[in-house]
Amino acid sequence: MPELPEVETVVRHLRPVLVGRKLNGITLGRHRLRSPWKPSWDSEILGKTIESVERRGKWILLQLRKTDSHVIVHLGMTGRLLVTPAKDPQALHTHFVFSLDQGRDELRYHDPRRFGSVIWAKTHDTHRFPQEAELGPEPFALKPKDFHNAISNSSRCLKAILLDQSIVAGVGNIYADESLHRAKLLPTRQGRNVTPAESKKLCQAIVAVLTKAIERKGSTISSFYYGDGESGNFQTEFNAYDRAGESCKRCRTPMIGIRLAGRMTTYCPVCQI
DNA sequence: CTGTAATCCTGCGAGC
DNA sequence: TGCTCGCAGGATTACA
């Protein structure tokens, strides 16, 4: 579900309703997430006000005012972060409830598969949360020359490269396939065989695809919703993802589906080279 | 350094 | 209709 455009959609939706609000309570669900919340973190966040809501790659950062720390959320595959009136019934698989201000509203984290995480971290010299140390540049700040340098000695295929968050942050399976199709590059191409011109084209394609997807408020495949159950619309504009067997929208050739880098991968065998 | 597979989970659709 | 099976947008780890 949530890759960069979906996370950005959530962040843009949450920002106006969360900034300036105080975290006055925390209740944990019965089941632990991928990385467990440490009890000692309670006192770090209680009584603190949310200064800003930002995105980095697929991570959501809630900066805590007058501290050098954040609550950081990763939505995994099925995570949802939403502000709800406290009187609303709690959905099954709600793992975190933060009471806001006087308790009329709550910030809830909901995640059936529990692949996501909610953590607290102090800012380090070089990163705001531990995982940021391994994170590559934002796609919109990615310089084609740097991208090319990063992949030009690699024997890995482009699909694996795009899914690698340390090369570029925020691209997942859907947008990797969409970007490669737009750039007319095969997902199986090795990094070392990509020319500088092709690297540039791919970087531009990533930006174009993500920009359009953000405009459409992300893609809703089965479970991505933001805010009050609103869905994204980009799934109607897929040119590659999940189109195996269907004809390429550019050249009418039947699209091929293979498993690559452990992921379902779809491409056109004719116009992607 | 690579790729592959397994792993953490629930939900959903396909197929019988 | 009800069952089982396989697969799913992510990230990490172990192993060949």
What pTM did the predictor assign? 0.95
Q: DSSP E strands: which ranges in A115-232?
A: 117-122, 225-226, 230-231
Instruction: Please write the tens of the pLDDT for every residue from A205-246.
Output: 999 999 999 999 888 877 667 766 778 888 888 999 989 989
Q: Which residues have C-beta within 8 Å of that of residue A248, sequence separation ≥ 6? A: A239, A254, A255, A268, A270, A271
Mark whether A2 is an active-site residue.
Answer: yes
Mark whether A80 is an active-site residue.
Answer: no
Mark whether A143 is an active-site residue.
Answer: no
Pairing state of beta strands A23-28 and A50-56? unpaired
Tokens for A123, please give them.
Answer: 């800012």
The pLDDT of residue A87 is 96
User: CA-CA distance, A221 to A175, in Å (whole number)?
Assistant: 13
The pLDDT of residue A223 is 66
Instruction: Please write the tens of the pLDDT for every residue from A95-112.
Output: 999 999 999 999 999 999
Q: Look at residue A156 and tell me whether its pLDDT is greater than 70.
A: yes
CB A1 under 7 Å to nucleic chain B = no
Calculate the angstrom distance between C1' of C7 and CA of A180: 23
**Average pLDDT over chain A, rounded to an integer:** 93
Calculate the angstrom distance between C1' of B7 and CA of A8: 28
Name the residue with the least CA to C1' distance from nucleotide B2: A156
Mark whether A263 is an active-site residue.
Answer: yes
DSSP state of A224: -
Determine the average pLDDT of the residues in A153-177.
Answer: 94
pLDDT grade for A1, boundaries at 50, 70 and 90: low
Instruction: Please write the tens of the pLDDT for every residue from A17-41.
Output: 999 999 999 999 988 898 889 999 9
CB A22 under 7 Å to nucleic chain B = no
Tokens for A66, please give them.
Answer: 């007058």
A210-224 as b/e: b if 16+ CB within 10 A? beebbebbbbbeeeb
User: CA-CA distance, A93 to A54, in Å (whole number)?
Assistant: 25
Calculate the angstrom distance between C1' of B4 and CA of A262: 8
